Copies of this chain bind each other. A is one copy, B any other.
Amino acid sequence: MTQTMIAEHPLDRTLRLEPLGGGRYRGATTPDYWNMAGPFGGTTGATLLKAVLDHPERRGRPVALTVNFCAAVAQGEFAISVRLVRDGRSTQHWQVEMTQGETVASTASVVTGAERDTWSHAVASPPVMPPARDLEIMSSEGRNAWLQRYEFRYAQGEPTRGLASAEAPGQAVSQAWVRDLPARPLDYVALAALSDTFVVKILNVRGDVPPVATVSLSTYFMADEAALARQGSRPLATISDARTFKHGFNDQSAELWSDDGQLLAVSHQVVWFKG
């Protein structure tokens, strides 16, 4: 007897949720996407989004996801509760909360909307980079686990310690091809996680990583299901940049493009830093 084992992708293992009814779910952290002192924020956001997508009353695709990182997520179990705040004709508004014991670890608001074909117009253009195959894959050996769950091919601004300093700041902008590792067909939860794969910009600008934490992350999904299916597991073209570092916070914005030049998502965050 031969048994074919289809291994579960680490992303799916990490996002696994047990529905408890009434918009409640149970999940647990995995080591797969571990960051410095907790799970990678991208998978936390994707987990909160998945709880909405799994909800029986959910109609339509994700349009907007804002994740607020309230407290460090500890290793182990967590509970998620989802509330449909408003069930409108064009959009549904959801509120999501992840708790561990009495602590609210993170909250999210999610907007879903029906798939529609409308007038469309592309204002922005994709980043101009060499094709992915012509760029070297960044080595993530010995680095945090989550970095090993993505294949990064930087065309510009690979985050590297010591290239810049507080006295001689480097450029914040990065351009890179990015995809899940192992390769995985693109869907909304993967895209949500990918939208947080832009390594903290202080590393590019200042050359070091003081204590940092994303405070709030908003992702707008501009692609329909068909566009994600067309992209499959090929690398996304991404560009990310920051505008200012001041009073212990910096902003950061990113675009995620399909390799046929469609803007799949835009993502913005504000990051707390210590020194």
Contact = CB atoms under 8 A, between A and B. Distances in A.
Interface string A135-166: 00000000000000000000000000000001
Interface stretch (A38-46, A48-56, A105-113): A105-113
A242 interface: yes
Contacts of A68: 64, 66, 85, 93, 109, 111
A274 to B, nearest CB: 8
A122 B272 contact: no
A133 interface: no
Interface string A77-111: 00000000110101101010100000110010101
A91 B212 CA distance: 13
A249 B220 contact: yes
A248 interface: yes
B124 A243 contact: yes
Contacts of A196: none
Interface string A235-263: 00000011111111101010100000001
B218 A247 contact: no
A111 B86 CA distance: 23
Task: Give chain A's interface secondary structure class.
Answer: strand
Contact of A246 (B86, B90, B222): B222
A123 to B, nearest CB: 5
A123 B247 contact: no
B251 A253 contact: no
B222 A251 contact: yes
A179 interface: no
A70 B90 contact: no
A86 B63 contact: no
Interface of A: 63-64, 66, 68, 70-71, 85-86, 88, 90-91, 93, 95, 97, 103-104, 107, 109, 111, 113, 115-124, 166, 169, 171-172, 205-206, 213, 215-216, 218, 220, 222-224, 241-249, 251, 253, 255, 263, 266, 268, 270, 272-275
